[in-house]
Structure 1
């Protein structure tokens, strides 16, 4: 009888050993740490594009300066309804916009987003003038853009000229005239 018990006991051990999964046995880890949560902040809402609504001189850029800097005579100037700093639209002799200057003062995230919208960081050259300002510049299908921001201020200059230096020159003058250094 002893042999039967011994044989049955051995059989039970062999059967149990064969039914185990192969490889190391690990106990599941307690989930005391919650899984990481990815928080993405929504991009700030951009203000609407400024529209020319009234004729008049640009309060922060002289027409003669713009004509010299952009290399074209200016036939008329229009302003947006934005306050306190309207966007200025300078037109060529054929009546087409040749240069536009947009000034935004407000939330830093919106200023940065406006600059990135005008001169996307992934596709533009880095702009660092005037000192302390950050942004980008690039040629576009119809000209060039120079866009920079500092804290909660953004300046975006678009021109129908292919030379970005013209837009940069106007941007620096606008910043200086507005006392935004």
Structure 2
């Protein structure tokens, strides 16, 4: 019987020590509980997929840039309502979307979440571009993607081309336009 009492006493003391109540001179008792509570914050969510709402121009890429990078003529350009960094949608003359560029500026956590949503870490090839930008690139069922983040900034491109060089060039141009 005595053995059970000895085992139960430390458990009870441990529970009292983590309860958040401390007596005089016991100021550090809540720091572990606070650390556990703060580490259970929900992971950052990527911004919603942008939708085109108005005709262009794109502040990051010209029609000529996109025609060169993606290898197709640009019929029209539309932009999202996101301010001050709208997403840009480039369409072929037949109306099919050929390239989309999304820019995010905010927290590093959301920037990384956007990159992972476009070019998932689990499936994409790791990439870097000048200036410390890191992310991923991969072929998709409908084309290819290239997405990078640097601190609280992210730039992602989705192309209808089955080669990642097209969205890579668009991302490089957009990151340089951001400064």
Normalised by the length of structure 1, the TM-score is 0.79
Partner of 1:161: 161
Q: Name whichever structure is richer in helix by fraction.
A: 2
Matched, 1:28 2:28: no
Partner of 1:97: 97
Unaligned runs of 5+ in 1: 1-24
Normalised by the length of structure 2, the TM-score is 0.79
Alpha-carbon distance in structure 2 between the residues aligned to 1:59 and 1:42: 33
Shifted more, 126-135 versus 58-67: the winner is 126-135
User: How far does the alpha carbon of each residue in 1:23-50 deviate from its partner, in whole angstroms, 9 at most, with x for none?
Assistant: xx89537224459958433122332211
Alpha-carbon distance in structure 1 between the residues aligned to 2:178 and 2:109: 21
Partner of 1:177: 177
Look up the SS of the partner of 1:145 in the other structure.
Answer: strand
- Superposed CA RMSD in Å reads 2.0
User: How far does the alpha carbon of each residue in 1:10-30 deviate from its partner, in whole angstroms, 9 at most, with x for none?
Assistant: xxxxxxxxxxxxxxx895372
Alpha-carbon distance in structure 1 between the residues aligned to 2:45 and 2:176: 27
For 1:18-167, list aligned pairs within 5 A: 28=7, 30-31=10-11, 32-33=13-14, 39-167=39-167
